[in-house]
Structure 1
Amino acid sequence: MNKPNRRTITTTLMLGALLGLTATASQAQTPAGGDKVVYHIDNTEAQATKGLRNIRNHLDVAPDTKIVVVTHADGVDFLLEGAKDKKNPDIDYGALVSALVARGVRFEVCEITLRNRKIDKAQFQMEAQFTPSGVVRVARLQQREGYAYLKP
């Protein structure tokens, strides 16, 4: 059996890398052709209003996009019942979240954050769902389910 030469090895590696990129790109689309995106929010004050606006705009342009919003640390605060934007109290997060849920967006709260901050699940809006670990969920959505990552 002949030993592969350097050119054969390089060509094989390049072909493998190209096939890997093609597979990764195709994973970020749902079977119906829409994209899959995870929005990561860990700071309500800095990210919530901007993130919710980004998601609304995202769906306005690409309505078939599957979006999951994963929150942890201070990012869970906008999902608390009655939460409002501190800089602009006219912005009611509950109404914005409800409107996005009606468009298919899923909002998830990290249970580790709840334990560390001693927050009860009952304090959250009905639309909020829970995940054992926010960072693990973000990683799995990216690696196992092919979601693109956005952090507003």
Structure 2
Amino acid sequence: MKVFRLACLATLMAFSYKTIAQKADPLTFNGAQATEKMYRAIYQLNSEEEKKIKSTLKNIQNALDDPRLKGKLQIELIVHGSGVALYMNNGPYQAELRALLDNGVILAQCENTLRERKIGKDQLWPFVSFAPSANGELIIRQAEGWAYIHP
């Protein structure tokens, strides 16, 4: 009898939750509320395609510009594989990268990529930081609770 009552109660709770969720008015929704003291996100870039690079940089800037996250956001951009094109010091992205850096974004490059592609650190912008591996960085950051974004 006790099991039956628990099952009935669980069914009633699930039905009530679904009914409440269905009654939410999408016209009054204003987005999630930023109630935490700090939010952390790691963005991954592994493409040299200009469209993908620009999209990633724009996504990061959009997060930085979100008024709910002002003063509450830490971002890291980890680059590996073909994405190394973003950090090459002969590339066109210095101004965008400097703007992100000025906003506290960590700009990190995978050292495995440099080794595999025989690229020297001196070929990258001097403000780029390094991580032993992008995959390791992603694993560690996610375990620390960072949001993972791969635009």
* TM-score in same-fold range (> 0.5): yes
What does residue range 1-150 of structure 1 map to in structure 2 within 5 Å?
33-45=37-49, 46-61=51-66, 62-64=69-71, 65-84=73-92, 93-143=93-143, 145-150=144-149
Amino acid at match of 2:133: S
Tell me the equivalent position of 1:25.
none
* Runs of 5+ unmatched residues, structure 1: 1-6, 8-31, 85-92
Which consecutive aligned stretches of 4+ in structure 1 deviate over 6 angstroms post-superposition? none
Which secondary structure state, in structure 2, belongs to the residue aligned with residue 83 of structure 1?
Answer: coil
Give the 3-state SS of the residue equivalent to 2:148 in structure 1.
strand
Matched to 1:51, the amino acid is T
Q: For structure 2, list consecutive stretches of 5 or more residues without a partner in the other structure.
A: 1-5, 7-35
Structure with max Cα Rg? 2
Report the alpha carbon displacement of residue 99 of structure 1 after superposing the two structures with TM. 0.4
Query: Aligned residues: percent identity?
Result: 33
TM-score under structure 2 length normalisation? 0.71
Q: Distance in 2 between matches of 1:53 and 1:138?
A: 20
Question: 1:40 & 1:125 partners in 2: Cα distance?
Answer: 18
**Partner-residue secondary structure (3-state), 2:90:** coil
CA RMSD of aligned residues (A): 1.8
Displacement of 1:75 in angstroms is: 1.0
Q: CA deviation at 1:63?
A: 2.7
User: What TM-score do the two structures reach when normalised by structure 1?
Assistant: 0.71
CA deviations on 1:10-47 (whole Å, 9 max, x unpaired) are: xxxxxxxxxxxxxxxxxxxxxx7121000011112152
